[in-house]
A = this chain, B = another copy of it.
Amino acid sequence: MATPVISELTATQAASKIADGLISAVEMTQSCLDRIEATEEAVRAFAHLDPEFALSQARDADNWRRSGRPIGPLHGVPVAVKDIIDTADFPTECGTGFLAGRRPRSDAAVVARLRAAGAVIIGKSVTTEFAYFHPGKTRNPHDLERTPGGSSSGSAAAVAAAMVPVAIGSQTNGSIIRPASFCGVYGMKPSHGLVSRAGVLPLSRSLDHVGPFARSLDDIALMLDVLAGHDPEDPDTRPMAARNFRQIANEEFGLAPRFAFVKTPHWDRMDADAREAFEGLAEELGGDCFTYDLPERYASGWTAHRAIMAVEMAHNLGKLADAGGEKISGQFRDLMAEGRKVSATHYLAAQAEARGMREALEDLFQQECTAIITPATRGVAPKGLDATGDPALCSLWSLTGLPAISLPLMTGESGLPLGVQLIGAAGDDARLLRTAKWLVSRLAG
* Docked-complex contact A343 and B345, CB < 8 angstroms: no
Q: Is residue A312 within 8 Å, beta carbon to beta carbon, of the partner chain?
A: yes
Interface-central residue, A341, A344, A345, A346, by most chain B CB under 10 Å: A344
When distances are taken between beta carbons in the complex, the residues of chain B under 8 Å from A318 are 345
What is the bound-complex CA distance between A282 and B200, given in angstroms?
46
Q: How far is the CA of A311 from the CA of B348 in the complex (A)?
A: 9
What B residues does A342 contact at CB under 8 A?
A: 343-345
* Nearest B residue (CB) for A308: B344
CA A349 to CA B347, docked complex, whole Å: 13
Decide if the interface of chain A is mainly helix, strand, loop or mixed: helix
Encoded as 1 (CB less than 8 Å from any B CB) or 0, chain A from 339 to 359 comes to 111111111110010000000
Of all chain B residues, the one with the shortest Cβ separation from A205 is B348
Complex-state Cα separation, A311 to B340, whole angstroms: 15
Complex contacts, A274 vs chain B, CB 8 Å = none
Q: When chains A and B are docked, how far (Å) is the Cα of A315 from the Cα of B349?
A: 7
Number of interface residues of A (CB under 8 A): 18
Among A339, A343, A345, A352, max chain B CB count under 10 A is at A345
Contact B340 A341 (CB under 8 A): no
- CB-CB contacts below 8 Å: A306-362 with B: 307, 311-312, 314-315, 318, 339-349, 352
Chain B residue contacts of A314, Cβ below 8 A = 345
Chain B contacts of A349 at CB under 8 A?
315
Which residue in B340, B345, B348, B352 is a CB contact (below 8 Å) of A345? B340
Measured between alpha carbons, how far is A347 from B346 in the docked complex, in Å?
Answer: 11
- CB-CB under 8 A from A341, the residues of chain B are 343
- Closest-by-CB residue of B relative to A352 is B315
Closest to A342 in B: B344
Contact of A347 among B307, B347, B352 (CB under 8 A): B347
Find the B residue at minimum CB distance from A311.
B344
Contacts of A340 in B (CB 8 A): 343, 345
Contacting B at CB under 8 A, from A217-237, are none
Contact surface of A with B, Cβ cutoff 8 Å: 307, 311-312, 314-315, 318, 339-349, 352
Given contacts A315-B344, A339-B344, A343-B344, 13 further A-B contacts (CB under 8 A): A312-B348, A314-B345, A315-B348, A315-B349, A315-B352, A340-B345, A341-B343, A342-B343, A342-B344, A343-B343, A344-B344, A344-B346, A347-B347
The 9 closest A-B pairs by CB, nearest first: A344-B347, A311-B344, A315-B348, A342-B344, A344-B344, A315-B345, A314-B345, A340-B345, A343-B343
> Can you identify 26 A-B contacts, CB atoms within 8 angstroms?
A307-B344, A311-B344, A311-B345, A311-B348, A312-B348, A314-B345, A315-B344, A315-B345, A315-B348, A315-B349, A315-B352, A318-B345, A339-B344, A339-B345, A340-B343, A340-B345, A341-B343, A342-B343, A342-B344, A342-B345, A343-B343, A343-B344, A344-B344, A344-B346, A344-B347, A347-B347
